[in-house]
A = this chain, B = another copy of it.
Amino acid sequence: MKIILIGASGTIGRAIDAELAPRHEIVRVGRSGGDVRADIADPASIENLYAAVGAFDAVICASGKVTFGAFEDFTAGSFELGLRNKLMGQVNLVLLGMKHIRDGGSFTLTSGLLNDDPIREGVSAALTNGGIDGFVRGAAIALPRGLRINAVSPTVVEESLPAYGPYFRGYKAVPAAEVALGYARSVEGAQTGRVYRIGWSRDA
């Protein structure tokens, strides 16, 4: 398969690349590097990405920004980064990619556990991830041509603990290589409308 991997140079992106590259053709995408450059927050940039890549079988997005911080300091503006980048950025990858992706292709988005297992500083992430999970379930039954869509919802990644550990005290971390399995399951499997929780369960 020809797979567009957005966020290819990130911690999770590199692990996805390592998991899938032995079996597939990977088009590596980043904001400032990779085979093609694109910014998911900019719909025109997404259009340019699809025009540059040509026909493909799968899109994986392992990128998405949200604002972390104390809720009491939040304004409506504090939610905009999450809405424009991680949420609508990924939605636009699907909306614009639907026209280009081959029959039976798949979209795999990234959410995260914070909408079900929240932390104090993560109210925008909770909203954003909930939106992604809902979108994936809704879009799965509305996509044409046998197209599929799933989300991977990881807990905190071991390799990110130096940066994020203080926010996630008491959370068991998983290696990025284990998170990467969720993307393989989505792209190489047959399921749709699933949220693959990696390293946590909803009733935890």
- Say yes or no: is A115 at the interface (Cβ < 8 Å to chain B): yes
A71 with B133: CB separation less than 8 A: no
- Say yes or no: is A200 at the interface (Cβ < 8 Å to chain B): no
A133 to chain B, nearest CB (A): 5
Once the chains are docked, how many angstroms separate the CA of A98 from the CA of B123?
A: 15
Interface residues of A in 111-130 (CB under 8 A from B): 114-116, 118-130
* CB contact under 8 A between A128 and B134, given known A72-B98, A79-B88, A79-B91: yes
Interface residues of A in 126-180 (CB under 8 A from B): 126-135, 137-144
Once the chains are docked, how many angstroms separate the CA of A37 from the CA of B132?
A: 33
Number of interface residues of A (CB under 8 A): 45
Q: List 19 extra interface pairs beyond A76-B91, A120-B141, CB under 8 A.
A: A72-B142, A76-B88, A79-B91, A83-B83, A87-B131, A114-B138, A115-B130, A116-B137, A118-B140, A119-B141, A120-B142, A126-B134, A126-B138, A126-B139, A127-B134, A127-B138, A128-B131, A130-B132, A131-B134
* CB contact under 8 A between A144 and B92, given known A123-B138, A130-B132, A133-B130: no
A133 with B115: CB separation less than 8 A: yes
> Chain B contacts of A125 at CB under 8 A?
138
Once the chains are docked, how many angstroms separate the CA of A55 from the CA of B95?
A: 44
Nearest opposing residue in chain B for A133, CB measure: B130
- Say yes or no: is A75 at the interface (Cβ < 8 Å to chain B): yes
> Chain B contacts of A70 at CB under 8 A?
142
> Chain B contacts of A127 at CB under 8 A?
87, 91, 131-132, 134-135, 138
A186 to chain B, nearest CB (A): 18
Query: Which of A75, A128, A135 has the most chain B CB within a 10 Å cutoff?
Result: A135
